[in-house]
Amino acid sequence: MHFYRILYSLILSARYKVEIKGEEVLANDLPKLILPNHISHIDPQLMSIALYKHSEFVPLVAERFFKIPVIKWFLKNFKAIKIPDFKKGGRDSNLMQKINNQLLDALNENKSVLIFPAGQLSSGGIERIFNKQSAHSIVSIMPEKTRVIGVRITGLWGSMWSKSWNGHRPEFLSTYLMAVVYYFANLIIFCPRRKITIEYIDITEGAKQKAPEGRKIFNTFLEDFYNENGPEKPTFVRHLFFFPRIKNKVIVK
């Protein structure tokens, strides 16, 4: 996996210029609960590359991504934990407990856990977690030594991987294939680069304080953290170096 991480990091660096802030909060051996905002489908890929060099981590991933052959192989190697699609019915009343048990096993082994609390792509350049329970449920029972790391990712609102183009979640596989086409059409070295910022902040004390007050208050705490600087302004970067600059209108639904 180390080889693939380096290779994929080089591939992504042709398109994304990533600035890391607050990386020092990861520089210890304590287990960590990593909670980023979720602007686009590219977030997990960038986060995986950024986190892998610090510690072994276990991601919580939606079931639909396990159905994509190549992605499935990587997820299994990361020992990713699957979240079933509740909308399709057949919900197991004990499912959250089963997932939490797997997350606790990882934290007790001093691994990090990666969860996107919103569980869906953001709309309008702001993060909304609504009534999602994954982050709140694990913070409520995590080992005492666990650090909770909030992550603010900026620079991706306006990406074709986000909802900003038509207000709908982009289909992952078709977007991925299009990105590959753009990559080679730009002759690799001429890819227009998008500037991304990944900022890590230790929010352990606030998370521990808000978790006992209930899911709604805890999720509001996370939303306030993610949206501290207000709605993100869209940044449109042309896909091909020989095309004119993109002039697009953000659509919010």
pLDDT tens-digit map of 147-194? 999 999 999 999 999 999 888 999 999 999 999 999 999 999 999 999
CB count within 10 Å of CB 50 equals 21
* Cβ contact 163:169 at 8 Å: yes
Q: Is the pLDDT of residue 13 over 60?
A: yes
Sign of CA dihedral 196, 240, 39, 175: negative
| pTM confidence score | 0.93
Q: Give 121's pLDDT tier (boundaries 50, 70, 90).
A: very high
**17 three-state secondary structure:** strand
* Cβ contact 92:98 at 8 Å: yes
pLDDT tens-digit map of 216-225? 999 999 999 9
* Cβ contact 81:116 at 8 Å: no
At 166 the pLDDT is: 85
Residues 6+ apart with CB under 8 A from 247: 236
At 131 the pLDDT is: 93
**CATH fold of 2-226:** Glycerol-3-phosphate (1)-acyltransferase (3.40.1130)
Q: Give 252's pLDDT tier (boundaries 50, 70, 90).
A: very low
Of residues 1 and 171, more confidence is placed in 171
Closest to 135 in 3D by CA, of 216, 31, 205, 75: 216
State phi, psi for 211 to the nearest 5 degrees: -55, -45
Q: Which residues pair with 81 in a beta bridge?
A: 60
At 243 the pLDDT is: 80
Q: Give 54's pLDDT tier (boundaries 50, 70, 90).
A: confident
Average pLDDT, the chain: 91
At 87 the pLDDT is: 60
At 253 the pLDDT is: 47
Of residues 85 and 50, more confidence is placed in 50
Q: What integer is the mean pLDDT of 194-212?
A: 98
C-alpha 64/C-alpha 67 separation (Å) is: 6
C-alpha 141/C-alpha 94 separation (Å) is: 16
pLDDT tens-digit map of 222-243? 999 999 999 999 999 999 998 8
